[in-house]
């Protein structure tokens, strides 16, 4: 059974999934904070992740995914849209991009307020909404 591990905010969570599960579904199954503003229909790029291990074992990206990924911030050779990339039979290690993490907070105001209060208390800057990170 393939295991998907997500890294975000300095911590890691993982989940065992069936082959064919997409990365966004895996994130939701283990509480990883991956944004999904369009609801997983390949229309927003807020589910953008970097796949550091197992990239070649994922389903192939189609033209539509590549078009949407083009709009994402800080795209790398290991970039995928979580709602489109399906796990094969191998383990995968995924880093949630700052854009995607911020989109998750945009969608979860209660958690965002808690985070912002913590950042303020630590004297740190509060990140801008994810939409402000997107390319125009």
Query: Which is nearer to ligand FES, 15 or 130 (by Cβ)?
Result: 130
Minimum distance, C-beta of residue 127 to ligand FES, in the bound complex (Å): 19
In angstroms, rounded to a whole number, what is the distance separating the alpha carbons of residues 79 and 71? 12
Contact (Cβ atoms closer than 8 angstroms) between residue 93 and residue 53? yes
**Interaction residues for ligand FES, span 55-114 (CB under 6 A):** 68, 81, 83
Task: Give SS3 for 48.
Answer: strand
Residue tagged 């997500």 (tokens): 6
**Segment 18 to 47, residues that bind ligand FES, using CB under 6 A:** 36-38, 40, 42-47
- 100: tokens are 């995607």
Q: How far is the CB of 42 from ligand FES (least distance, A)?
A: 5
Between β-strands 3-8 and 11-16, what pairing exists: parallel, antiparallel or unpaired? antiparallel
List strand residue ranges (DSSP E) for 9-113, in order.
Answer: 11-16, 48-53, 79-81, 92-96
Residue 132 CA to residue 20 CA, distance in Å, equals 32
**Residue 49 binds ligand FES (CB under 6 A):** no
Which of 15/24 has CB closer to ligand FES? 24
Q: Give min distance, CB of 80 to ligand FES, in A.
A: 10
Shortest Å, Cβ 40 to ligand FES: 5
- Kindly determine how many residues on this chain lie close enough to bind ligand FES according to the rule CB under 6 A: 13
Contacts with ligand FES by CB under 6 A lie at: 36-38, 40, 42-47, 68, 81, 83
């Amino acid at each position: 059974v393939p295991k998907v591990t997500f890294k975000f905010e300095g911590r890691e969570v993982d989940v065992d999934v069936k082959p064919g599960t997409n990365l966004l579904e895996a994130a939701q199954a283990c509480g990883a904070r991956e944004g999904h503003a369009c609801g997983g229909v390949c229309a927003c790029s807020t589910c953008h992740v970097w796949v550091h291990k197992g990239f070649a074992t994922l389903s192939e990206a189609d033209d539509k995914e590549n078009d949407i990924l083009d709009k994402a911030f800080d795209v790398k050779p290991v970039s995928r849209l979580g709602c489109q990339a399906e796990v094969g039979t191998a383990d995968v290690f995924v880093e949630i991009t700052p854009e995607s993490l911020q989109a998750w907070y945009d969608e979860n105001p209660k958690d965002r307020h808690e985070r912002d209060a913590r950042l303020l208390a630590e004297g740190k800057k509060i990140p801008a909404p994810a939409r402000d990170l997107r390319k125009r």
